[in-house]
Structure 1
């Protein structure tokens, strides 16, 4: 009864538009008061704010966000798009393919999906529309390509998931590489299909000679530096994910200074980073309070016991959970979704025998779909804001990619080795 009351209260607060952090904290405090009494609630509320953010690995989150913002203001992403555009050349839908490749490269050196979507909106959509691309095709490929930053390391979502579920941050980050490549290929193949069906939606682009393609690669050295500073350091065991995040942020700052980025833009990147980091920290505090309430009510243990006694096949539970994430992704942002569900669902899936790292990656891929699915696809609203395109038009352009992503999820479910193989080879 107490669990039901706490959950109803939480959903009520969220429905009335109360911030996620405050909703979690108030619902959790009310639940603690019901279950444990005043002294228990007061003790937890007094100790949680400091204890919940003392995790050493939490430092990686603001570092990855800072890295993404510095990359954005320094213009490195513009060079990545130009290089990808030259290499795709006259390929049908070439600029759209370049956008997908740029999204993958940007994801590999940032970690913020909204930053990726905003950057790709300004670099690729104007060029595609000027070339005569259908606006829906252009907006759809940018929306889905921006989500790659959630999957390919460094990823703020992966770090947050690892902290909540008590998993290895390094293993989880590396586990996103192969699925990230598969998602990129899925986007490219989807574009190929759309262009094959309607060739007039993506007119042919300018062709380039081989020497021009090779010359374009010279502008991509910054990407290689940042990739090795973060993903290379983690995979080779040279440093921890937290150390790699600090090294990546430092390298991004050095590159911004080398490119003569103005101090006002660098300062703005730092302010945006501080705002985003504080928001995430407050959400973690609220989640910890609500988590203590769920622990006292033994919600997770009761759910696991029920599933065991009911004899429901594990694959049925998995499908139900994936459907739940798809629905939640339509109405809730990624951080709130992870905070609310992972403490309950992750232990349950482990108890059913699923690999926790594999399930984490599946969860993030489903969250990618939610970022471009109505009515609350955050990347869609970011693109609409930066380009002035109607939200509905962007959603319609994203629909084919949603279908393709769901097919990819099925492949990852049938072949979990695609996720678990690379982390098993880490130093």
Structure 2
């Protein structure tokens, strides 16, 4: 009864607009006090912040965020879009496909979906509208392409999942590579299908010579070097994800210097943004640990596992229900908050049902991508609407075809776990 009451209090605080970290801390502290009194509460509160924030793996979070800020500072997204446009812009819907490719490239060197959506809104959206694209088609592809940063390494969301679930972060990041490619191709295929249905929604773009196409690839070189500096060293076993995050942040800083965009003002802005985002995420993780101790003492997760086991329902049916719950939560809450709140409770059940935690982590992030573009929250849609100065309803209308195609791909990834797990199994020990 105490666990149920405290959980209801947590969701009530969230519904009232209390910040996620404070909601977790208040509910968890009250629960600990009710169970063990002031001594238990004081013991947890005095030890949890240092033990949690001092985690070695947690260093990768601010480093990957800093890497994203330096990539934004470098302005490399403009070059990525131009290169993609040069190669596929002449194809019907080519600029939309180029947006997906630019989103994948930017995500591979940033890891932040909102940063990716904001950058694409400022670069690719005006180009599509200028060429005569249907605003719904243009806004939809920009919003969904921004979510690729959640999946393609270095993904901050996958790092957070690994920290919360105590799962190998390197395997999680590598596990996102093939699904990330498949999601990119799915976005491109959806654009192609939409243009096939209504050719007037996306006029053909400018044609380029082969020499111009080859010259456009010069911007891809530094991006590939940076991507390999992070993902390649993790896959080969040369560096841990934490060490790779430091390499990535330094590499992104060098890229920004190369582009000539670093000065005292821009550097201070990038560092400040990275510090703000890092403090917010670490604060949420620390407070989630307090709430996690409460769940542990009440044995809530074990009771849920035992209850589901007694139902005699197929593990796949339970998985479908869990994923449906994630889809619903994704429509209402921020993805970081969803991971923090649900993973400690859901993961023991997933393991008890015999599912791989690495595979499940990637699946959850694919589901979270859908949540980033579905109402009423749809964070990426709000970002695109703000930066592109377009109506929210227009962007939401444009993402629905991509939501449907995403759900179809999700079904494939669930049915064939080897798509996700093959690359992690090939990693150096």
Tell me which interval the TM-score lies in, with the shorter structure as reference length.
over 0.9
SS in 2 for 1:331: coil
What secondary structure is seen at the aligned counterpart in 1 of 2:238? coil
**1:11 alignment counterpart:** 11
The alpha carbon displacement at 1:333 in A equals 0.6
| Partner SS, residue 10 of structure 2 | helix
Q: Secondary structure at the match of 2:331?
A: helix
Residues 169-184 of structure 1: pairs in structure 2 closer than 5 A: 169-184=169-184
State the distance in 2 between where 1:37 and 1:219 align: 60
Aligned-partner Cα distance in 2 for 1:331–1:36: 33
More displaced 10-residue stretch of structure 1: 327-336 or 263-272: 263-272
Shift of 1:115: 0.6
Match of 1:306 in 2: 307
CA distance in 2, matches of 1:142, 1:421: 30
Rounded Cα–Cα distance in structure 2 between residues aligned with 1:41 and 1:194: 56
Distance in 1 (CA, whole Å) between partners of 2:115 and 2:172 is: 21
Mapping for residues 356-367 of structure 1, pairs under 5 Å: 356-367=357-368
2-structure distance, mates of 1:111, 1:121 = 17
2:323 equivalent to 1:322:
yes
Residue 352 of structure 2 is matched in structure 1 by 351
Counterpart in the other structure of 1:332:
333
Deviation at 1:89, TM superposition (A): 2.7
CA deviations on 1:58-115 (whole Å, 9 max, x unpaired) are: 1111111111111111111111111001011310100000000011111111100111
Match of 2:90 in 1: 90
Partner residue in 1 for 2:214? 214
1:381 is matched with: 382
Task: State whether residues 158 and 172 of structure 2, in contact with CA within 8 Å, keep that contact through their aligned partners in structure 1.
Answer: yes
Q: Which residue of 2 aligns with 1:251?
A: 251
How far apart are 1:347 and its partner, in Å? 1.2
Tell me how far apart the structure 2 counterparts of residues 255 and 309 of structure 1 sit (CA, whole Å).
Answer: 56
**1:161 — aligned with what?**
161
| Residues 24 and 290 in structure 1, CA contact (< 8 A), matched pair in contact too | yes
The CA deviation at 1:34 is: 1.2
In the aligned structure 1, how far is the partner of 2:77 from the partner of 2:266? 15
Q: Is the 8 A contact 2:105 2:223 kept in 1?
A: yes
Aligned to 1:60: 60
Tell me the alpha carbon deviations over residues 389-423 of structure 1, each in whole angstroms, 9 at most, x when there is no partner: 11111111111100100000100111110000000
Measure how far apart 1:141 and its partner are. Answer: 0.4
Deviations, residues 192-212 of structure 1 (Å, cap 9, x unaligned): 111011111100100111111
Q: Distance in 2 between matches of 1:290 and 1:390?
A: 39
- Structure 2 residue 205 is the aligned partner of structure 1 residue 205: yes
> How far apart are 1:372 and its partner, in Å?
0.2
Q: Which residue of 2 aligns with 1:122?
A: 122
Instruction: Tell me, in whole angstroms, the C-alpha distance in 1 between the residues paired with 2:219 and 2:41.
Output: 56
Task: Tell me the SS of whatever aligns to 1:239.
Answer: coil
**Cα displacement (A) at 1:284:** 0.5
Contact 1:76 1:222 in 2 (8 A): no
1:227 Cα deviation after fit: 0.6
Given that 2:89 and 2:98 are in contact with CA atoms closer than 8 Å, whether structure 1 keeps it comes out as: no
Cα shift readout 1:338-384 (whole Å, capped 9, x = no counterpart): 00000010111011000111111110000000000000011011111
1:273-284 aligned at under 5 Å gives the runs 273-284=274-285
Inter-partner Cα distance in structure 2 for 1:49 and 1:219: 43
Contact (CA 8 Å) 1:161, 1:342: kept in 2 or not?
yes
Asked if 2 retains the 8 angstrom alpha-carbon contact of 1:326 and 1:366, the reply is yes
The answer to whether the Cα contact below 8 Å between 1:60 and 1:246 also exists between their aligned partners in 2 is: yes
Count of residue pairs brought into register by the alignment? 427
Partner Cα separation in structure 2 for residue 348 and residue 275 of structure 1: 34
> How far off its partner does 1:15 sit?
0.6
Distance 1:314 1:146 in 2: 32
**What secondary structure does 2:204 align onto?**
coil
In structure 1, C-alpha distance between the alignment counterparts of 2:313 and 2:296, rounded to whole Å: 24
Structure 1 CA distance, aligned partners of 2:276 and 2:388? 24
2:373 corresponding residue in structure 1: 372
State whether residues 96 and 128 of structure 2, in contact with CA within 8 Å, keep that contact through their aligned partners in structure 1: yes
Aligned to 1:203, what secondary structure does the other structure show?
coil
2:72 maps to 1:72: yes
> What's the CA shift string for 1:255-276, capped at 9, x where partnerless?
1112111421222111100000
CA contact (8 A) 1:64 1:156 kept: yes
Determine the C-alpha separation between the residues in 1 that align with 2:299 and 2:86.
Answer: 57
CA RMSD of aligned residues (A): 0.7
1:146 is aligned to 146
Question: Could you report, residue by residue, the CA deviation over 1:129-150 in whole angstroms, capped at 9, with x for unpaired residues?
Answer: 0000011111100111100000
CA contact (8 A) 1:31 1:293 kept: yes
C-alpha distance in 2, partners of 1:89/1:283?
A: 42
Alpha-carbon distance in 2 for matches of 1:360, 1:111:
16
